[in-house]
Structures are given as C-alpha cells and as structure tokens.
C-alpha cells in the first residue's frame, strides 16, 4: 500500500485475528518482569529493615535514609533515562537495566557497611525508575491496538505480584532474620529478564525511526508471527511511516521540542496530572504502611497485621486481573472514573471509621481498605502507566514518559515521607479525608483531561493530537 506522506489519513491497522497473539504475549510477559522487580524491590525493604536496623544500629534518620534510598534512586533513574530510551532503543535500555538490578541487588545484599547498603539501594532505585517507564513503553509499541490496554497492564499485574512476593519472602525469612537473602532474591528475576530480553526484537517503531524499514519489518514479522500475511505487516509499517513523515521524519526530540510544541502541552498536563494523582490519593500509605494502619484500626497482634497485609497484596493483584480483562472492552475512562469513585467512598469511610473508633473500626477499616485497594487496582494503578505509554508522539515518547514517571516518583516520595507526620498533625480521620478530597480532585481532573484511547493505534492518537483536536474528543 502506497501512502502519500503529505496528505491523507494513516492507514487502518488490521486486527490481531491475522496475527500471532501468543508471541506478543510472551514478549510482554518477559518485559513485565521489569514490573515484577519494581514491585519486589520497593516492597521488600519494609520487612528487611526490621533486621537491618539492629545489625547496623541505625538511628531513626539513617533508618529513613535506608528505606527512602530506592525512592530517591527512582527519581534519578526516571529523570536521566528518557533520552536514552529514544536514542539507544527500548530493548537495549531494558537489557542494561536488568544488569543494574543484578549488580545493585548483590551490592545491597552483601553490604557490610551502611554506606554500601545505601549506595546499593539507591542504585536499585535507579533501575526501578528506568524499568517503571521503559517496560510499558516497549510493550505499548509492540502491542496490537485492540489488545494494548491488557498487554501494558500486564506490567502493573507484575508490579502487584512483585509486591505480594516481597511480603511473602519477608514473612518466610523473618524467623531466620536473613535480610541479605530477602534483598538478594531480586537477582533471580533480574537475570531472567536480562536473558529473556536479549532474545527479543527491538520495538519496530523505534527501528523504523532510527534504522531501516527492513529491520523494522523483520522485528514486526517476529512479533506478529511468521504466518502473518505480508499485507498486514506492510499496512502497519505504512501507518508508522505516515506518522513519522507528519512529524517531519525527525528521529527524536529533546526537552526543547517537548516543552515548546503547543499541541504536546495537553498531553503533558494529562500525564503529569495523572502521575501526581496516582500518588497523592494515598496508595503507598497502604502499600508501605499497611501493618501500621491495621494496628491503628485495632489489630494488635503481629499475625493479624501480617495476614491483613497479605490480604492487601492479594486484593491488589486480583483486581488488577479484573482490570486487564475489561480494559480493552470498557475503555480507560469508564474504569478510571469508576475506580476513583470507589477510592473516594472508601477513603471517606475509612476516615469515618477512625472518627468513631471502637470495635466497629476494625471491620470498617478492613472493608474500606479492601475496597480502596481494589478500586485503585482497576483504575489509577494500571491506567496511569498505560496512558503515558499511549499518548505521547514517537519522537519524544521516551523523554515524555520518563518525565511523567519522574513526577510520579517525586509525588511517591513526598507522600511516603509525610504520611506519619500528617497523622500526627491532622489525626487519623482527617488524614484519610484529606486523601479522599484529593481523590475528588483526581476525578474532576480525569473527567476533563483524560482521553479515551481504547482500540486506537498509537499513530492515530498522534495524528489526532497533532491536528490540535481536543484531547477529550479522542475515541468519541
């Protein structure tokens, strides 16, 4: 199919009926191991710190530094690597990130001094920061449009699995006090990720922009399966080429393009806004401090807290599966709105439970936290990562995604270090009502700024935005 690069719409991409879905699934699952490492390495420290603290006789400040080091590293990693993804390619960056995970996990697990431990944890954070955006970016670029939601959300499923796995490993190893093993186990998925990604193809979109059509075609054929027909492969490549010619065939852009292009601004507002709201609505107060919250709610025994915490992990994972099953059918917007409404109701209920206190609080606490986690897991959890992998133009996709990711990690850090102070200053009820009020703001923001991208190719999304049509009209 011949496309006139200067006129006409992008060709329509054929659906996966003609393509091999299992290959796409395997590639996405391997890339999603980066999500597993993100979840595992952020979660594992809550259990490990209990034993690190006495071994190194940590002061409260040093304890906070050890716990927060990975978050600081993640901000640095996300900040520094966007252009690398655009310049060197998505696959190569994942490969290097897997290597950093291995080195950093070994360095932290074998640390005999606090400074080496902190350096190791910062390095793990750097890898988490890079992995958190480059894996969804890679998956979104190899996925067929009508399954892209589910495939990118696999990464979020892997994050939740990693968090749950870290809770389990921490609990199992608690009796031996073996914090080295808790952290060191992270090496295993990192090695598998490295080996797996080594054998996978580079993103055809990146190859087309940076190498040749022939190389892009080879990769696409590998992804869509050898039996896929030549016409569908060519149509897909034509569509990508068309979008590139609209962008003036420029391979990649820098901060200047990102900040000066007026049509990209609504996309930046959307991505940065969702990044902030994903965090300031309080998810990691529950993920990182679940045992503390359950203690506040009246579960005094350690076993009760551990079981309740494991429950949080399981609900998080199961509801992410639900999200994966319906994302490409219901669409992003209805799920996002519905989930946010669930988060608002449960946060206000939790605050109310703390307000009235007493025995009833225990059960209000458990039920509202379950609804809260479930609502996050079907909405803001996967949908933030999915949308930032979909809405930015190819030229600056890596850079823009990494910027949104950095905003997300800064907001994460801010919420994590202020949570206990907020509880002291405002009290328990007001703190959760505060997160509830921020969730109301997130709902209003999403209503006005978040587009529907269900079933639309990345090139068609880019074309819509480049034509300066309102973002909200996308998908209507």
Output the furthest CA–CA distance in the chain (Å, rounded): 72
Rounded to a whole number of angstroms, the minimum distance from the CB of residue 195 to ligand BGC is 26
Distances (CA, A) of 222 to 9, 45, 132: 27, 39, 25
Helix 213-224 and helix 21-31: axis angle, to 10°?
100
Per-residue tokens: 277: 């709201």
For ligand BGC, which is the closer residue by CB, 206 or 384?
A: 384
**How far is 59 from 46, CA to CA, in rounded Å?**
16
CB 448 within 8 A of CB 472: yes
Closer residue to ligand BGC (CB): 35 or 451? 35
Q: Taking the complex as a whole, how short is the minimal distance between the CB of residue 362 and ligand BGC, in angstroms?
A: 24
How far is it, in rounded angstroms, from Cα 306 to Cα 416? 20
Nearest to 16 by CA among 148, 141, 129: 148
State the nearest-atom distance from the C-beta of 471 to ligand BGC, in Å.
Answer: 22
Smaller CB separation from ligand BGC, 288 or 432:
288
Least Cβ distance, residue 392 to ligand BGC (angstroms): 18
What is the phi-psi region of residue 113: left when phi exceeds 0, alpha when psi lies from -120 to 50, beta otherwise?
beta
Rg (CA), the chain: 22
Q: Which is nearer to ligand BGC, 16 or 346 (CB)?
A: 346
Site of interaction with ligand BGC (CB under 6 A): 156, 159-160, 163, 278, 283-284, 287, 316, 381, 412
CB of 17 to ligand BGC, least distance (A): 31
Q: In the complex, what is the shortest distance from the CB of residue 151 to ligand BGC, in angstroms, rounded to a whole number?
A: 16
Cβ nearer to ligand BGC, comparing 93 with 312: 312
Residue 77 or 381: which CB sits closer to ligand BGC? 381
Helices (H), 282-331: 283-296, 302-330
| 28 versus 156: smaller Cβ distance to ligand BGC | 156
Instruction: Work out how close the CB of 98 gets to ligand BGC at its nearest, in angstroms, rounded to a whole number.
Output: 20
| DSSP labels, 9-25 | PPPPPPPGGGS-HHHHH
């Amino acid at each position: 199919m011949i496309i006139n690069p200067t006129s006409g719409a992008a060709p329509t991409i054929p659906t996966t009926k003609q393509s091999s879905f299992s290959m796409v699934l395997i590639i996405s699952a391997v890339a999603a191991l980066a999500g597993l490492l993100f979840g595992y390495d952020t979660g594992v420290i809550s259990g490990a710190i209990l034993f690190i603290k006495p071994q190194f006789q940590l002061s409260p400040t040093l304890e906070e530094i050890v716990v927060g080091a990975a978050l600081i590293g993640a901000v640095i990693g996300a900040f520094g690597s966007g252009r690398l993804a655009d310049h060197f390619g998505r696959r190569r960056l994942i490969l290097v990130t897997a290597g950093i995970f291995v080195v950093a996990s070994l360095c932290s697990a074998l640390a005999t001094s606090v400074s080496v431990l902190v350096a190791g944890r910062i390095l793990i954070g750097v890898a988490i920061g890079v992995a958190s955006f480059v894996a969804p970016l890679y998956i979104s670029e190899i996925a067929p449009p009508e399954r892209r939601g589910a495939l990118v959300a696999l990464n979020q499923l892997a994050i939740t699995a990693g968090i749950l796995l870290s809770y389990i490993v921490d609990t199992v190893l608690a009796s031996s006090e073996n914090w080295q093993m808790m952290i060191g186990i992270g090496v295993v998925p990192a090695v598998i990720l490295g080996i797996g990604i080594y054998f996978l193809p580079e993103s055809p979109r990146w190859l087309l922009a940076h190498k040749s059509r022939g190389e892009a075609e080879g990769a696409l054929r590998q992804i869509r399966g050898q039996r896929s027909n030549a016409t569908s492969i060519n149509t897909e490549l034509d569509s990508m080429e068309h979008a590139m010619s609209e962008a003036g065939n420029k391979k990649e852009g820098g901060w200047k393009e990102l900040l000066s292009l007026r049509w990209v601004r609504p996309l930046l507002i959307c991505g940065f806004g969702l990044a902030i709201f994903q965090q300031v609505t309080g998810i990691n107060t529950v993920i990182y401090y679940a045992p503390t919250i359950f203690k506040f709610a009246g579960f005094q025994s350690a076993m009760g807290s551990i079981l309740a915490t494991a429950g949080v992990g399981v609900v998080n994972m199961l509801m992410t599966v639900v999200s994966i099953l319906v994302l490409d059918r219901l669409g992003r917007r209805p799920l996002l709105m519905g989930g946010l409404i669930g988060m608002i109701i449960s946060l206000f209920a939790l605050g109310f439970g703390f307000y009235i206190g007493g025995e009833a609080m225990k059960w209000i606490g458990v039920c509202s936290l379950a609804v809260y986690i479930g609502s996050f897991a079907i909405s803001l959890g996967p949908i933030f990562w999915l949308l930032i992998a979909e809405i930015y133009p190819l030229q600056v996709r890596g850079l823009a995604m990494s910027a949104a990711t950095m905003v997300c990690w800064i907001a994460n850090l801010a919420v994590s270090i202020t949570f206990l102070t907020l509880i002291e200053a405002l009290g328990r009820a007001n703190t959760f009502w505060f997160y509830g009020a921020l969730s109301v703001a997130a709902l209003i923001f999403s209503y006005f700024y978040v587009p529907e991208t269900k079933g639309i190719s990345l090139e068609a999304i880019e074309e819509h935005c480049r034509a300066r049509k309102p973002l909200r009209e996308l998908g209507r």
